[in-house]
Amino acid sequence: MTQLIRIIVADDHDCVRVGVQRLLQGAPHLQVVGEAADTYSLAELLDTVSCDVVVSDIGMPGLDGGSNAVSFLRRVLRGRPHPRVVVLTMICHAHMLSGLLHIGVAGIVDKRDTAAALIDAIDAAMAGRLYLSHHAQVAIEAADSPPQLRAGVLSAREWEVFQLYVQGLAVHEIAKRLQRSGKTISTQKRSAMRKLGLETEADLIGYARQIGLI
C-alpha cells in the first residue's frame, strides 16, 4: 500500500488554495492536512500538524511584516527534521528562483505551468530530487549568466549579513553589531552574493527587492 504524502498548502489567495486542494485530492497518494493564508498561520500549522511537504507561495504576508515568506521558509528548511518545500509562484526572475534553491527549496512550480507539474514536483521532492517546472527552468536558463544551482547554501551568518546590508547598514556597522571584523563581514557578504548568483550591487538590491526584503 502506497504511503500517503501529507501536504500543507499555503497561499494568500483563496481561489489558489481551493484549486490546489482539488487538484491534490485527485491523486490517491496525496492528502492535504492543512491550509494557510499567511506565514503566521503556516507557522501554527507546522507546530501542530505533521506533514511531509509544504506547497507555498512566497508572496504572502510574512511574520516580520512585508509580503514575502522567504525568510520564514528558510528558517523551516534549517530545522531538523523539516518537511520538503515546493514553491508555487508567478515570479520568473532567475536570481530569485536560484536563491530559493540555495535555501533548500525542493521544487519550484510556475503557476502558468500545467496542473500536473505540481504533483510531479511533490513526488520528486519526496524522492529527494530537485524539480523545476517548464517556465521556471526556462527563466533560469535564459539568464545571461545562469547561476549554478545548489552551488552552496548560505550559512546563517551569511544570510544575516545579507539582510542587514540590504536594509541599509554599512559593512562597518554590521561588523560592530555582530562583533566581527569588517574584513570578515565583507567576506561573508561576497560569499552570499556568489552563492546567490549576484555579481553587482544592483543585482543585490534587485534580488532583495524581489523577495521583499526592501
Average pLDDT over residues 189-213: 78
For the cut 50, the answer to whether the pLDDT of residue 149 exceeds it is no
pTM over 0.75: no
Average pLDDT over residues 146-175: 76
Q: What is the pLDDT of residue 176?
A: 92
| Judgement on whether residues 44 and 115 belong to the same structural domain of the protein | yes
Element (H, E) at 78: helix 70-78
What is the rounded CA–CA span in Å between residue 19 and residue 2? 24
Q: What is the mean pLDDT of residues 192-196?
A: 80
- Please tell me whether residue 45 adopts helix, strand or coil conformation: helix
Across the chain, mean pLDDT equals 84
Q: 121 or 63, which is more confident?
A: 121
Q: 115 with 162, same domain?
A: no
Structural domain for 173, as ranges = 156-210
CATH of the domain at 179: 1.10.10.10
The answer, yes or no, to whether residue 5 has pLDDT greater than 90, is yes
The helix-helix angle for 201-210 and 182-196 (nearest 10°) equals 70
Asked if 49 and 21 sit in the same domain, the reply is yes
